[in-house]
Amino acid sequence: MHPSGRLFFHEFRAFTDGFHCASESDRLDAFTLQCHIDIMSKIKTVCVYCGSGPGTNPRFVESAIGLGKVLAENGIRLVYGGGSIGLMGAVATSVLDHGGTVTGIIPDFLTARENALKRVQEMIVTPDMHERKRLMFERSDAFVALPGGIGTLEELVEQLTWQQLGRHSKPILLANIDNFWEPLLALLAHMRATQFIRATLAVDILKAERVEDILPRLRSAAARAPAGTEELAPEIARRL
């Protein structure tokens, strides 16, 4: 079994034990199997935010390729920014190379600059960045931020803000490859210490240093989310 599969079943068993889903012999009986199916069914699409460049660390591209492989092997559609270069191109190409499906969403003015990837099964060209981000949200069950620049940071922080304000409960995860996101995590800790992030407006962000940990942590978080709180109504999204 793939290492990410072993880790998922380990985390799944720990989660279900708390609800007595597993039998004493740890067999997947009918009820436990249904719990397992329900958890997995919550994550069908993952939006990946990442750079349109490769960065200076080879592990950034390696991780993008690895994440694409994991998504494809688990039958999870990638939603991303539509480009064919940098980490964007790496993760999308990897999903396609491993038999997965991809939705690219790109504003018209970036189709040439970021070389829109023609191989994807679905490419949506939007009139502007706002429409791009709205559609990326609506079409995704969870969000992952690989290393990237200002655009990646802006997209990530927008989802954190909507979540903080109670507009959705979709999981948001930092792929902290070689500690890339540590400065942001330190800033969030500073905001908590100075009480600009308060307990009543918590920021719930996941973190994974290894690609194989990303999907299990997203699934675990999705399983804990209260029913009916995952979605942001389209009419609300248009106003944000």
Confidence of residue 18 (pLDDT cuts 50, 70, 90): very low
Mention the CATH class of domain 44-226+233-239: alpha beta
Tokens, residue 168: 């959705």
Q: Residue 51: how many CA atoms within 13 Å on its side-chain side? A: 16
Hey, CA dihedral for 64, 143, 4, 119, is it positive or negative?
Answer: negative
Summarised one tens digit per residue, pLDDT across range 199-240 is: 888 899 999 999 999 999 999 999 988 765 445 545 544 554
The Cα–Cα gap between 16 and 12 comes to 6
Backbone angles phi, psi at 46, to 5 degrees: -130, 130
Q: For 132-202, where are the E strands, in sequence order?
A: 142-145, 172-175
Cα dihedral 17, 199, 155, 100 in deg (nearest 10): 0
Length of the chain: 240
Hey, CA dihedral for 8, 9, 14, 15, is it positive or negative?
Answer: positive
Short-list 28, 15, 67, CA closest to 214: 67
Backbone angles phi, psi at 215, to 5 degrees: -65, -45
The Cα–Cα gap between 63 and 32 comes to 32
The Cα–Cα gap between 61 and 74 comes to 20
pTM confidence score: 0.79
Q: Residue 30: how many CA atoms within 13 Å on its side-chain side? A: 0
The Cα–Cα gap between 182 and 199 comes to 21
Summarised one tens digit per residue, pLDDT across range 119-165 is: 999 999 999 999 999 999 999 999 999 999 999 999 999 999 999 99
Tokens, residue 156: 């990530």
Q: Give the pLDDT confidence score for residue 41 in this predicted structure.
A: 52
- Is residue 62 within 8 A of residue 84, CB to CB? The reply is no
The answer, yes or no, to whether residue 184 has pLDDT greater than 70, is: yes
- Is residue 57 within 8 A of residue 178, CB to CB? The reply is yes
The answer, yes or no, to whether residue 46 has pLDDT greater than 50, is: yes
Q: Which amino acid is at 56?
A: T
Summarised one tens digit per residue, pLDDT across range 51-91 is: 999 999 999 999 999 999 999 999 999 999 999 999 999 99
Q: Enumerate the CATH 3.40.50.450 domain ranges in the chain, comma separated.
A: 44-226+233-239
